[in-house]
Amino acid sequence: MTDALVRSVLVDENGMARGVAYIDRETRREVEVYAKVAALAASCVETAHIMLNSKSSHRPTGIANSSGQLGLNLCDQRYGSLGYGYLPQPPGQPPAPDNIANSAIRRPSVR
């Protein structure tokens, strides 16, 4: 199905997923589709967004959000060029290896 933007997961009286509600981009109508299984694979941020929108009497804060942590501490994958930089050693601090190749550097003992 093309031009469908999922708004929320529909749940039954037991709080189990029974389908999805989506907005048709061309007609701007909301449509409900029912299924035995609903799988969300809309990227890190959008999957959390859909789950938070999926509120019901069984799940007042959204599905899979009983802890209140859904949508927090997200780490999405970004693609692009790598960034490089130089961080000087802080004054008065012992030298520390910054990668595996430099792991042979011995740290002075701390007293």
Q: What is the spatial distance between Cα 61 and Cα 74, in angstroms, rounded to a whole number?
A: 18
Range 17-31 burial, b when 16+ CB lie within 10 A, else e:
bbbbbbeeeeeeeee
Tens digits of residue pLDDT in 30-50: 999 999 998 998 888 899 999
- Looking at residue 93, what is its pLDDT? 72
Does residue 87 carry a pLDDT above 70?
no
- Looking at residue 36, what is its pLDDT? 92
Does residue 102 carry a pLDDT above 50?
no
Where in the chain are the domains? 4-53
Is the CB of residue 88 less than 8 Å from the CB of residue 80? no
Is the CB of residue 18 less than 8 Å from the CB of residue 10? yes
Half-sphere CA count of 77, side-chain side, radius 13 A: 3
